[in-house]
Amino acid sequence: MKYVYLDNNATTQLAPEVLEVMLPYLGEEYGNPSGRYALGVQARRAVAHAREQVAGLLGAEPDEIVFTSGGTESDNAAIYSALQNRPQGRLVATRVEHSAVLSNVLEHERRGGAVSWLEVDGAGRMNPDDAAREFSPDTALISIMYANNETGTIFPIRRLAELAAERGIHLLCDAVQAVGKVAIDLKEIPLTYLALSGHKLHGPKGVGALYVRRKTPFAPFLMGGGQENGRRSGTENVPGIVGLGKACELAHLQFHDMDRLARLRDRLERGILELAPDTLINGDVENRLPGTCNVAFRQIKSDELLLLLNRVGIMAGAGSACSSGSHEASHVLRAMGVPDSHIYGAVRFSLSRYNDESDVDCVLRELPPVLKQLRRGAQSGVSF
């Protein structure tokens, strides 16, 4: 059955070019990069090349890139390191961070650590000068994502990083959703750590990277054989790292496609609003990721809607991937003050370079009967 995949903020299709460069490292090129013999040297060179490709996409230096098992580990490693260097320090974070950050901040708070939360407005935005009032001298780390995974809202990271740097405070930017979709030049943004993940940009799952600015004292989260210059032990995931490198190189060449994605997204959104004018658009429509569309249908349960869409071959997400399957409202939409009448009906359509007009046509064709069916159900007694 042909299907329409519109959950690219959850994960993306592996680019065929990425698969191609990975295959040898899943086959005959199986050397351990620490080996001094030919197979080891080849693997080491491949990892070094990937490090240059990742650094190239970010305007970073290769020695500032630490390969990890993904976005979650990158976030954890940065927070761990910052707190090791300053155990009594305060954590400052937005209320809309991904759970990979949020759980660490909540755990710090539970243990009696100092925490300041940064609020967002109804569109999920933050004023950097207001936020900076919370950057107190006892801060170990400020954590602000580049773009929100649920709504796509982009934060003013450059300004926030400047304000943090002026105060000599480290800033972690979870850029898992932004890398490959918006151009990031770390020569221009004085942040300390940046997290990214392979599977969000058509690379493989289970691999990511943490950018660590030169001269930052770093306490490793994983200790052992001393790989990654002592910053992340464990034999390198060579095929994954090679794939991540290629995905970054491809993303660099594909930025021009982002305008097309934004147009597709806008057409989808306009179409949905025509079908259901009482729908809310969640996020900053002026400044968000090009392919992300988060809409909240009135008096509809998103899991029921997604189930019906799935039956006709359309796959989309409800809130974040990690919280889907639970019936709790998204913490992001709660922080934005989305009303109860709509919050349970939030659906995220997220597009990638592999989507086209026919996918948008399909959603706009299939949605009316699905909404009709759900509204009939609601009239027969479902409460919100």
Residue 72 makes contact with ligand PLP by CB under 6 A: yes
Distance, CA of 294 to CA of 317 (rounded, Å): 9
Residue 100 makes contact with ligand PLP by CB under 6 A: yes
Query: Which residue in the block uniquely carries the two structure tokens 């400052």?
Result: 92
Q: Which of 151, 177, 294, 302 binds ligand PLP (CB under 6 A)?
A: 177
Residue 71 makes contact with ligand PLP by CB under 6 A: yes
Which range of residues in 65-73, 218-226, 261-269, 295-303 is near ligand PLP by CB under 6 A? 65-73
Contact set for ligand PLP, span 216-235 (CB under 6 A): none
Residues that contact ligand PLP, how many (by CB under 6 A):
14
Residue 53 makes contact with ligand PLP by CB under 6 A: no
Residue 145 makes contact with ligand PLP by CB under 6 A: yes
Residue 12 makes contact with ligand PLP by CB under 6 A: no
Q: Which of 12, 76, 149, 192 binds ligand PLP (CB under 6 A)?
A: 149
Residue 208 makes contact with ligand PLP by CB under 6 A: yes
Distance, CA of 243 to CA of 239 (rounded, Å): 6
Residue 7 makes contact with ligand PLP by CB under 6 A: no
Residue 33 makes contact with ligand PLP by CB under 6 A: no
Give the residue numbers marked as catalytic: 322
Which range of residues in 162-170, 171-179, 185-193, 344-352 is near ligand PLP by CB under 6 A? 171-179
Contact set for ligand PLP, span 300-359 (CB under 6 A): 321
Distance, CA of 162 to CA of 158 (rounded, Å): 6
Distance, CA of 221 to CA of 40 (rounded, Å): 25
For residue 240, the minimal CB distance to ligand PLP (Å) is 11
By beta-carbon distance, which residue lies closest to ligand PLP? 71
Distance, CA of 235 to CA of 352 (rounded, Å): 32
298: Cα within 13 Å, side-chain hemisphere: 8
For residue 349, the minimal CB distance to ligand PLP (Å) is 15
Identify whether the C-beta of residue 354 lies closer than 8 Å to the C-beta of residue 7. no
For residue 37, the 8-state DSSP code is: S
Q: How many CB atoms lie within 10 A of CB 61?
A: 15
Q: Which of 21, 79, 176, 244 binds ligand PLP (CB under 6 A)?
A: 176
Contact set for ligand PLP, span 180-199 (CB under 6 A): 197
Q: From the CA atom positions of the chain, what is the Rg in Å?
A: 21
Which range of residues in 68-76, 164-172, 334-342, 360-368 is near ligand PLP by CB under 6 A? 68-76
Q: How many CB atoms lie within 10 A of CB 254?
A: 17
Identify whether the C-beta of residue 333 lies closer than 8 Å to the C-beta of residue 148. no
**Helix and strand counts by DSSP (H, E) for the chain:** 12, 12
Residue 294 makes contact with ligand PLP by CB under 6 A: no
Identify whether the C-beta of residue 209 lies closer than 8 Å to the C-beta of residue 244. yes
Cα 109 to Cα 74, 80, 94, 366, 372: the distances in Å are 20, 14, 14, 45, 45
Residue 174 makes contact with ligand PLP by CB under 6 A: yes
For residue 252, the minimal CB distance to ligand PLP (Å) is 20
For residue 103, the minimal CB distance to ligand PLP (Å) is 11
Helix (H) or strand (E) holding 194: strand 193-197
Residues contacting residue 95 through CB under 8 Å, at least 6 positions apart:
117, 118, 119, 120, 331, 335
Q: Which is nearer to ligand PLP, 33 or 71 (CB)?
A: 71
Q: Which is nearer to ligand PLP, 71 or 89 (CB)?
A: 71
| Partners of 346 in the β-ladder | 296
Nearest to 71, CA basis, from 222, 227, 199: 199
Q: Which of 44, 51, 90, 98 binds ligand PLP (CB under 6 A)?
A: 98
Q: Which is nearer to ligand PLP, 8 or 279 (CB)?
A: 8
Q: Summarize as ranges the residues that interact with ligand PLP (CB under 6 A).
A: 70-72, 75, 98, 100, 145, 149, 174, 176-177, 197, 208, 321
